Amino acid sequence: MNSHDDAPFVAPRERLLAEARKFGNAPLLALPDGSVADLKTGYIPLLVNFTFEDKAAKGLRKLQDQAEPEPAVYFTALEMVSDHAAVVLTGERGSGKSSFARHLAFNLAKGGPSIAPRPVPRNDLGAVHDEHWTLSNVLPLYLQIEPSCSFSDLIKTAPGEGNDVISELGLADGDATLLLILDGIEAAGNDGLQLLNDALAFQKRHRQVRLLALGEVSAVKTWPLPADCVRFDLQPLLKSQRRAAATRLAGLDLDAIGVALGDAAANPAQFAMAMISGDSGDTAENITDRWLSKVSGDPKTGAFVCGLAFDALNGSLDDPTLFPVTRIRQLLAARHLASQPPATAVTSFRKFPELWAPVLRSLAVRLPGVAAVDALVEALLAGHGNDVLLGALLAAEILVAEGALQDRIVPHLLEIIEGGLPAPQREQAARILSRWGDPRDLQALARVPAGTFTFGSNTHPNSAPPNELTIDAFQIGIYPVTNGDYGVFARETNRLWRSPDGMAQDRRNAPATDLTWRDALAYCDWLTRRWRFESRISADEEVRLPTEPEWERAARGDMADMGPETIVYPWGAEWLNEAANSEESGFNNTCAVGLFPKGRSPYGCYDMAGQVWEWATTLWGDDMATPHYKYPYLNDGRETLDAGPTIRRVLRGGCFSSGKLKACSTYRGSLEPDGFWRGNGFRIVVAKVHG
């Protein structure tokens, strides 16, 4: 591009790169000696909630028999942007979203064709791997989102307007890629999802364009995304990352001085404050108080600063440079509100819940005693509609004592779980109910009548051909077996259970996972004896795993096959957002059972698409790719329970990392009977004992 004719294309590129290079000299964090580290020297690589195991488990695989789960080894945010054409990164306030975006833009603009590999800690147990960027010749277009901003308005700030940005930057010839970076997308408010969808449509129209959007987790996590746009959460800073950064930037030995290694200092903004103030980093409030004392000098000035932060957070301050880090504004505003009536805090929360919820959480920590917290809870429970649901969810977090207020909150949490708020809030409500005691009957059974139904589908060769089957009546679990119920069995029988969070108080209503086929059979035998003793089932009934036809009958009911192009889901023949914990939901983990009421099967069963792959009794064969036991379903030994350890058993329904092609009523998976993974679980059947 050296000719005169090419000059119009070079100038916009140079302007773009020059703007991105400026980020390198921008101040990032203040240091204890009064100096300031800029972005190019102070940046700490960020990890996301996607592990090496997650990537390996996109296809079902077997872990070593009786092996312990491997510690999580996380990918970096940079690697996810490199690997995916459209990525949404979410994080809490102060998690480093903007720093990551600007550092990436700076790195891409500083002159090299690619980003050089560098070693990055991947957990606190010593795992270190080089961080890799696989793209070359990438132009960064960094755009900061403003309130009520549309994509068409936003793109006009780039070289050219609309589609002209492609030709203006000389991208039409395909010699470079444009990385479109949308930072702070939650600032668009109610228009944010439309802005993101418009940006995705723009990206799909132009093969030279890739998209990175960054937003606050409580706002953006609720947005439904298309299957070809992935979403990851930024992880808190590891202790190893903090130790290395403190040594490199400030010459500090954090272990020796006892600074910034507490849980609260894992937030990057709070880590910087803890280093300056010399705080241990155990709580955000202690970090804030020590930091404020150091920077303000006296209590009167400190109170004035907190009032300014409150005004800045409310948008009533004209100077945007005052406390540019939103997380610091929030912490200071919480300190200011500790001397104000509860209604002052709740009024701000009602206007912008995602922004003010962290403030009220911090405020609750500061309030002097149970009575003051109860007054704040009462104020949150006042109102109507979603105001009450959002208020109840926050009130449940900050409530400090059992009693009448807790009893008032529980019905609101159940309403949230049944679809009153988006999926992330439903999961939050369910975790609270798990700790308090989930009042739902999580062992409830659905009755499936005897009858003839269509079994199988032409949508995948392993599930074909569809055929008519007649089966007897049975009952099946409305929910997958939960951690709470499996945990009782594991404790009573002293059975090895490899789940890292199976006994967690806030996960008792989530599906039990990391279970082999033999674990599931043993649980069914144990529950048969218990339920017979309790007269819940008769002596001629048993608890067992479903056969493959039973599982599919419960999932699809009487829905007929509609041809090779139509996938059958528990709720119908068309994919629905908010109907399943699948790859599209963005959880990348199990959640509490029953959070997707849109996805119930015709017999009222939850979570039969996505959530966890569910064991069946049925055999598959010894080849992972192709079943030995094909359709049509026959009485050919495929229900033999004593088959060898190399014979794979059928899994059905998909899991949280399965896309909508697999998270359905007909797709077949498989695994060896001694295999286990955090995406495998099961549900029970109760039926007459045969023979």
pLDDT of 35 reads: 92
Q: How confident is the model at residue 225 (pLDDT cuts 50, 70, 90)?
A: confident
- State pLDDT tens for residues 637-670: 999 999 999 999 999 999 998 999 999 999 999 9
pLDDT of 2 reads: 41
Backbone phi, psi, residue 656, to 5°: -65, -25
Query: Are the CB atoms for 507 and 431 separated by under 8 Å?
Result: yes
Q: How confident is the model at residue 62 (pLDDT cuts 50, 70, 90)?
A: very low
Give yes or no for residue 112 having a pLDDT over 70: no
Looking at the DSSP bridge assignments, the partners of residue 224 are: none
In terms of phi and psi (left: phi > 0; alpha: psi -120 to 50; beta: otherwise), the region of 608 is: alpha
pLDDT of 6 reads: 47
| Cα separation, 217 vs 193, whole angstroms | 13
pTM score of the predicted model:
0.85
pLDDT of 36 reads: 92
What burial letters (b/e) apply to 457-476, b meaning 16+ CB within 10 Å? bbbbebbbebeebebeebbb
List the one residue out of 675, 523, 501 whose CA is nearest residue 592: 501
Domain-terminating residue out of 195, 213, 233? 233
N residues, the chain:
691
- State pLDDT tens for residues 607-641: 999 999 999 999 999 999 999 999 999 999 999 99
The CATH number covering residue 578 comes to: 3.90.1580.10
- 244: its two tokens: 């290395």
Domain-terminating residue out of 188, 216, 233? 233
Number of domains present in the structure of the chain: 2
**Inside any domain, residue 667:** yes
| Cα separation, 392 vs 650, whole angstroms | 42
- 172: its two tokens: 């039409």
CB under 8 A, 24+ apart: contacts of 75-78: 75/47, 75/48, 75/50, 75/51, 75/122, 76/45, 76/46, 76/47, 76/48, 76/120, 76/131, 77/45, 77/46, 77/47, 77/48, 77/232, 77/234, 78/45, 78/104, 78/115, 78/131, 78/133
List the one residue out of 323, 385, 326 whose CA is nearest residue 350: 385
pLDDT of 113 reads: 57
What burial letters (b/e) apply to 47-75, b meaning 16+ CB within 10 Å? bbbbbebbeebeebebbeeeeeeeebbbb
% of the chain with per-residue pLDDT over 90: 78
**Inside any domain, residue 571:** yes
Q: Which of the residue ranges 314-323, 406-415, 500-509 would you say has the lowest mean pLDDT?
A: 314-323
Q: Which of the residue ranges 41-50, 114-123, 538-547 would you say has the lowest mean pLDDT?
A: 114-123
List the one residue out of 644, 647, 431, 631 whose CA is nearest residue 548: 631
Query: Are the CB atoms for 143 and 198 separated by under 8 Å?
Result: no
- State pLDDT tens for residues 355-373: 999 999 999 999 999 999 9
| Cα separation, 517 vs 670, whole angstroms | 11
Strands 209-216 and 177-183: parallel
pLDDT of 617 reads: 98
| Cα separation, 57 vs 436, whole angstroms | 33
The CA-atom distances, in angstroms, between 681 and each of 165, 519, 640 are 49, 10, 20
pLDDT of 190 reads: 83
Strands 648-652 and 613-621: antiparallel
Give yes or no for residue 1 having a pLDDT over 50: no
**Inside any domain, residue 89:** yes
Token look-up 């939850």 returns: 606
**Inside any domain, residue 75:** yes
Radius of gyration of the chain (CA): 27
Instruction: For the beta carbon of residue 362, count every other beta carbon within 10 angstroms.
Output: 22
Strands 541-544 and 685-688: antiparallel
Average pLDDT of the segment spanning 332-354: 96
- 462: its two tokens: 């392993």
Token look-up 């949280």 returns: 656
- State pLDDT tens for residues 246-261: 999 999 999 999 999 9
Average pLDDT of the segment spanning 592-600: 97
What burial letters (b/e) apply to 112-127, b meaning 16+ CB within 10 Å? eeebeeeebbbbeeeb
**Inside any domain, residue 392:** no
Domain-terminating residue out of 185, 215, 233? 233
- State pLDDT tens for residues 274-326: 999 999 999 999 999 999 999 998 999 999 999 999 999 998 887 767 788 89
List the one residue out of 327, 385, 372, 326 whose CA is nearest residue 345: 372
List the one residue out of 220, 605, 575, 600 whose CA is nearest residue 447: 605
pLDDT of 312 reads: 93
pLDDT of 628 reads: 96
**Inside any domain, residue 80:** yes
pLDDT of 114 reads: 67
Query: Are the CB atoms for 452 and 469 separated by under 8 Å?
Result: yes
**Inside any domain, residue 430:** no
| Cα separation, 664 vs 584, whole angstroms | 13
Q: How confident is the model at residue 160 (pLDDT cuts 50, 70, 90)?
A: low
- 173: its two tokens: 């010839």
Give yes or no for residue 59 having a pLDDT over 60: no
| Cα separation, 453 vs 469, whole angstroms | 6
The CATH number covering residue 163 comes to: 3.40.50
**Inside any domain, residue 334:** no
% of the chain with per-residue pLDDT over 70: 95
pLDDT of 588 reads: 81
What burial letters (b/e) apply to 324-345, b meaning 16+ CB within 10 Å? ebbbbbbbbbbbbbbeeebeeb
Question: Looking at this protein, which amino acid is placed at residue 321?
Answer: T
Give yes or no for residue 14 having a pLDDT over 80: yes
Question: Collapsing DSSP states into helix, strand and coil, what is residue 87?
Answer: strand
Average pLDDT score over the chain:
91
Q: Domain range holding 155?
A: 4-60+70-233
Give yes or no for residue 11 having a pLDDT over 90: no
